[in-house]
């Protein structure tokens, strides 16, 4: 499969294709916002919520496609709706939050699969593209929409960083000091839904959780402060997204799967060799 050529050609060759340039642009932006938003999910122990929102976007995406609307918007609405529903079930009954997440996201996901299967009979859309990502599917409009979402997400996080830090570390203390924690929490849900929506073309909804959680978790093993976790996480996320796309290009793999394999490999390295927390580093420090 790999042609005989030097590493420079290996890197530059795919860049002659417009579709690859579009995918790489989206991949960089997605790598950044996933790491930033995912760091909040990780420190608040809400990894499952990331999974819930990402699976829940599917019916909105399908409906929007069917009705000829913007699929990003449809997916976003479904994602936010799922968080509202999860919170509502949790509040109105003694069902625990993780159970409510499991119930809601599998129901939304099943509805999405059903809708897409029905739609597929009339129109040609390939379900796999949304589930696992497809680098051929990224249009100019997708690049534009992703850029808008990325600017929005990063702008909000920068502007309310200190409030989000206080809230995610000590929600009770933040609330007691007068911060609107309900609003901060809703804002965070919206940011997660936006990030998932931006990621679905390149990574796909099933595997986006990996790009949300793993870069931050990897960085968490290496640096001690949240903003450092986010910045290093961005680097890890971008590296994984880009190299995943190259693997996808050369080996004809679904891009989502390739990206996830790279980021998981990076996590394994940090897990084993992190100077402070690595399993092997700790072992070697022993007398």
Partner 1 sequence: MPPLVLHHLSVNYQDLRALRNINLTIHPGQLVGIFGPNGAGKSTLIKAMLGLIPRVTGRVTWGEADLSAHLERIAYLPQRSQIDWHFPATAWDVVMMGRVKPTGWLRPFAASSRRLAQAALERVGMAELAHRPIGALSGGQQQRVFLARALAQEAEIFCFDEPLVGVDQATTGIIFKVFRDLAAAGKMVLVINHDLGESITNFDQLILLNQELIAAGPRQWVLSPEHMRRAYGGEVGFWGHVA
How far is 181 from 101, CA to CA, in rounded Å? 21
Phi–psi pair at 275, nearest 5 degrees = -60, -35
Question: At CA 276, angle to CA 274 and CA 281, rounded to 5?
Answer: 60
Torsion of CA 71, 250, 28, 232, to 10 degrees: 130
- Assign residue 3 a region: left if phi > 0, alpha if psi is -120 to 50, beta otherwise? beta
Q: Which residue has the tokens 């849900």?
A: 189
Nearer to partner 1, 70 or 90 (CB): 90
- Shortest spacing between CB 171 and partner 1, in angstroms: 9
Sequence-distant (≥ 6) Cβ neighbours of residue 71 within 8 angstroms: 61, 64, 65
Nearer to partner 1, 160 or 190 (CB): 160
CB of 233 to partner 1, least distance (A): 11
CA distances (Å), origin 187, targets 37, 39, 48:
11, 15, 18
Q: Which is nearer to partner 1, 34 or 184 (CB)?
A: 184
CB of 54 to partner 1, least distance (A): 24
Helical axes 161-169 vs 18-43, angle rounded to 10° = 50
CB of 265 to partner 1, least distance (A): 22
Between 121 and 285, whose beta carbon lies closer to partner 1?
285
CB of 263 to partner 1, least distance (A): 19
Residues in contact with partner 1 by CB under 8 A are 43, 45, 159-160, 162-163, 165-166, 168-170, 172-179, 220, 223-226, 228-229
73 vs 187 by CB, closer to partner 1: 187
């Amino acid at each position: 499969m790999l042609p005989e050529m030097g590493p420079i050609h290996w890197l530059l060759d795919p860049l002659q294709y417009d579709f690859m340039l579009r995918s790489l642009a989206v991949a960089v932006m997605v790598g950044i916002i996933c790491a930033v938003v995912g760091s909040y999910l990780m420190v608040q122990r809400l990894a499952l919520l990331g999974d819930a929102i990402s699976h829940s976007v599917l019916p909105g995406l399908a409906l929007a496609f069917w009705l000829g609307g913007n699929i990003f918007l449809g997916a976003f609405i479904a994602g936010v709706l799922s968080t509202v529903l999860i919170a509502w079930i949790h509040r109105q009954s003694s069902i625990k939050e993780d159970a409510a997440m499991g119930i809601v996201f599998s129901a939304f996901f099943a509805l999405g699969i059903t809708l897409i299967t029905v739609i597929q009979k009339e129109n040609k859309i390939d379900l796999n593209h949304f589930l696992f990502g497809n680098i051929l599917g990224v249009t100019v409009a997708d690049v534009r929409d992703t850029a808008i979402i990325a600017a929005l997400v990063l702008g909000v996080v920068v502007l309310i960083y200190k409030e989000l830090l206080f809230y995610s570390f000590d929600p009770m203390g933040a609330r007691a000091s007068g911060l609107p924690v309900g609003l901060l929490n809703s804002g965070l849900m919206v940011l997660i839904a936006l990030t998932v929506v931006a990621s679905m073309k390149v990574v796909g909804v099933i595997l986006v959780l990996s790009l949300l959680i793993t870069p931050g978790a990897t960085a968490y093993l290496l640096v001690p402060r949240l903003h450092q976790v986010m910045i290093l996480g961005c680097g890890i996320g971008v590296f994984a997204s880009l190299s995943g796309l190259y693997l996808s290009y050369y080996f004809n793999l679904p891009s989502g799967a390739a990206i996830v394999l790279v980021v998981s490999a990076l996590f394994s390295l940090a897990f084993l060799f992190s100077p402070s927390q690595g399993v092997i580093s700790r072992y070697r420090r022993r007398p």
